[in-house]
A and B are shown apart, each in its own frame.
Chain A
């Protein structure tokens, strides 16, 4: 992990609090004081000279809860603290007509806005976003999907597996803003796309694997319009979703983790209460209750499944792109360029962007691959296509970077522009939703799955 030394961090971090240096190569920092709601709203103009790390809207002192104990409440500082002070850009949505680039940040729990013309100079540490939405009132945490309404410029954000809400923010929302409205969504919701003609939003849910469609204006515990789910769908830990309105297609990326419903392959709905009651329960994880085969599962190859846009139930895809030639490896967000008939895939675990034809099927090689040191694509999860300017936007979680490419870019391509939220050439810690920790006593290492 080059550059991840205490000495390379901005001076402000050192000054915050004197904590021991970590063993190993991780970032160590102290928690800065909690920001006020007004305090972290960025200036309206992008300030490219900024050198400080972004304000962590979640940072601050611990809770004030005074626990009742028998031997004592241990209220002491950690002796070491691993934490990346820079953003983890996860999802990106671009509205070129209104110069809006909305990016979700899964590390500091913010939605940030840039201009599509922003370009961080090499000698500059970071580009400050011109708008920041973040804080406990926003109901945002592990934000993995973003969508901009082309009419209202509202921003829709999906939370994954720590909050079961889909908040919608107005064009004016800043700071610790309450959402304009919220929709209760199933646990593990990931991708988002919208059909503006029918005024519907499409969401992927990782497990049980499904595509769920709501009215675009749905709020609170409203029931979905339809669900695509079942063994025949070949959905397998679905992530990204994109719609091609010209060809009436729905394109889904799948990581390949599967469980099976068995029998005739139909999804079995075992819900014992109306959707509106079930989804509003806060006493469990709100995973749609489903009966699936015990013990049976599969590590299938990652895939792109292509479906008719309006399908529901246990319907087979029209075609599937899958196999070793595809190079798919944790395919995350997908986008389509309707004019070119192409599918773009943020290929997270391969540090690449893959491009396929929408007509592709089976074990086919991508027609283009963006990858290499110059391209600066590192663990990309976010991706958006700007058909107006024929540009491809790629958000990388691994290097604090948003890169803009010409739509036909191929190979180790030089980005047209880059927006950096952290120092150049640093590798991000990529600790995201650390749900467990282990200790390897042989190597004296801390194990942190994400």
Chain B
């Protein structure tokens, strides 16, 4: 399972299941072999092995990167639900491995072709061009796994586990960009280096209240908590 998101408004947990082509929703306090309370699955959904997702509780939508497109469902969708919107087409440049939503600034960050991060308007639909493309050698992007956004800081946080196939990739880090960044720009901050102990960071989640980033590391089978107060600085809107 390659994503998990908590919906704090409804106290629910959402996960994708690529092998059964479904989005599952559990109670927030689910434990043990408990059944999901809702399942999005069926021909109308157009899902094709969903691997990651994110939740917009403000506008009550679920976003699913799905190969060359992004599918958007109602947050309370259940059963064979058609997507509300689909961002797809050659102009989008989407290679949808991962995604994160900023409901405050109305933006979506999604992985793109050629090791890029694409920024779209939250309500984008159809064959639309991204607003911004973060791409190039200075970005130091090899591969992107889970992403998260701190909307108050307009900050995108990305797990970079290095090249696929490398057992211990040389270039791994947690990278952070402004959602206003565009072009061949280095990350604003990274977490990496010998003190960090990171070997292959696979996922990130944010806790702004504690000013912490949670990082899972596949090569260590561990979960690390980094205290990073400097990144949780709101920006003027």
Contacts and interface: CB of A to CB of B under 8 A. Distances in A.
Contact of B227 (A79, A88, A237): A79
A436 B216 contact: yes
Which bucket holds chain B's interface residue count?
A: 35 or more
B193 A62 contact: yes
B34 interface: no
Nearest to A260: B21
A437 B230 CA distance: 22
Contacts of A61: 194-195, 197
Nearest to A257: B19
Contacts, number: 273
Nearest to B227: A79
Contacts of A162: 218
A258 interface: yes
Interface in B1-52: 1-6, 8, 11, 13, 15, 17-22, 28-29, 33, 39, 41-49, 52
Contact of B197 (A31, A88, A295, A438): A31
Nearest to A287: B49
Interface in A288-316: 292-299
B168 to A, nearest CB: 5
Given A68-B186, A74-B190, A434 B223 contact: yes
A69 B191 CA distance: 10
Contacts of B189: 69, 71-74
B216 A448 contact: yes
A436 B206 CA distance: 12
A66 B187 CA distance: 12
Contacts of B222: 81-83, 431, 434
A447 B52 CA distance: 15
A351 to B, nearest CB: 12
Given A62-B198, A63-B198, A296-B43, A450 B1 contact: yes
Overall SS of chain A's interface? loop
21 contacts: A59-B220, A61-B194, A62-B198, A67-B186, A76-B226, A79-B227, A141-B219, A207-B49, A257-B19, A294-B45, A295-B44, A297-B22, A299-B39, A431-B216, A435-B146, A436-B146, A438-B5, A438-B6, A440-B13, A441-B207, A442-B8
Interface of B: 1-6, 8, 11, 13, 15, 17-22, 28-29, 33, 39, 41-49, 52, 80, 138, 140, 145-146, 163-165, 167-173, 175, 185-199, 202-207, 209, 212, 214-228, 230
Given A65-B170, A72-B230, A75-B192, 8 more contacts: A63-B193, A78-B225, A81-B224, A435-B216, A440-B8, A446-B225, A447-B205, A448-B223
